[in-house]
A and B are shown apart, each in its own frame.
Chain A
Amino acid sequence: MRGEMTTLGETCQFFNGKAHEKHIDAEGQFVVVNSKFISTDGEVKKFTSKQMFPLVEDDIVMVMSDVPNGKALAKCYLIEENGKYSLNQRICSIRTTKFNIRFLYYQLNRHPYLLAFNNGENQTNLRKGDILDCPLWKPTLEVQKQIVAILDQAFAAIDQAKANIEKNIENAKELFQSKLNEIFSQKGEGWEEKTLGEVSQIKPNKRETKQFLKEDDDVSFVPMKYLGENKMYFNSPEVKKFKDTYSGYVYFKDGDVVLAKITPCFENGKLGIAKGLKNGVGFGSSEYIPYRVNESLIFNEYLYFFMNRASFRKKGERLMSGAVGHKRIQPGFYEEELIPLPSLEEQKKISSKIKSIQTALDNADGYYNQKLDHLEELKKSILQKAFAGELTMSEPMIVSDLMMGYD
């Protein structure tokens, strides 16, 4: 490996920051370089009017303290302007003329030697001595510049790739909603429009339970937390005696589509079809609206998909009414909203189709997220190879092996 191994202490100057807590001033003209600033890459700033430790261009600042397994430990930031920053305590500043600064920044940022001081149990506090002992690879300035050029380009490309993937993750969600809206605004042959109240019995009267349940029978008790978001079926592990749940709770049966009416549950999409309830009967929050479908008119999964849409929720939310903090959707909406109704057979086909689209998009989502993880790993491994001296003209094989499987 070309170039020498050295340590930080032999090549750089080290400075400790000063405590700024008592001098934080939102109107101040200096940015306080603290842990949050560095960990958010300069997004979150606190200000001061007392520049207790001035920083200059090309200073590398690094976080020295963090919680166990924290993401900020040994994270670095490159100061790009004079007269703008002041160094906080527990952050250090590294100055050198012996390295290409960007090269040093890449190498020092989250350096494994320093990360090793984290024991996963207690707060990590790097000491000056620890940092000075940090091993560094110092090739010629020429090689340093080459490596910086490669890293800059590679990382820019990775960041762009990540941005594309993140956009596609959002696109997939939008695609699903758009397709759903397309399906539910069809006006095909033989399609009718009916209100939700016409196709189902809303809030069936619990008196009917007395005909088939006895006092001591078990029923499922379903608090709001068990009504899922984007989960078609719901149930609850809690079981109570019929006599203890009859008063004061809303009643529903297996197969009923249950919608939460109060904010923010409604907007968050709490909705589901009851399945597997004890004795087929459930009781739950008074904020539930159960829909018992008229099976000759509508298929319950079709109703579920109709209601499980962003545009349905947006509309209901706009028409919500009530005191602040207790807004609820109104009967004018949850009873009168029109649903397009094809034949039962067509409804079943549609539900099936929606499920397959959902599965396909879930797969795409999983794939994209996996790609994101891979790209992060790629960054790390490129850095590792770079500072093991392997990222140069003479060692192509190992790195391109790395690239297989990342498409």
Chain B
Amino acid sequence: MRTVIDQEGKLLQDPWPVLESDQRSGEAQRGALHYWLYRDAAPADATERTAHTRLGVQLLGDDDRCAQLQDLSHLALLCIEVPLFTDGRAFSLARAARESGFRGDLRICGDFLPDQVHYFRRVGVSSFLLPKDSDHSNFVASIRGFSDAYQAAVDQTQPLFRRRWTWPMPAAVRA
């Protein structure tokens, strides 16, 4: 049983089941990226199938730029699989996806810690497919992170210095 939570920590009724590898059709290899397709209760018709198709991207190998996925606008779900929780590329990829205009559900799956979800949330991740057999309460508890942030990201595009240091300093204070 896979658990999916959204960026508020709410459990989701996930409409996108993960396909097992033998179910993956249209699995393509572009460079070193593997793709697989999430499909909902899909009609057999090819056109309709495409309309209901989602793309999952697995991080592997040397070629890891999200630019590999040329146009993300047709995707409703983009899932980045983290191979190992120490591999922080997913944070940059997630952010790049959002900054290139991806508006769909940006999901993280694979190996990640509850303590990483608030950073994922900051870079624009909107849902989490939790590791198998994990206790979702820890993930939910960690999702808020801190009450504010110094630097710009996706959830807050204005760095703190733009929000709190907005008036010119009076000359007298600067010796």
A and B form one complex: no
The chain A residues found within 8 Å of chain B, CB to CB, are none
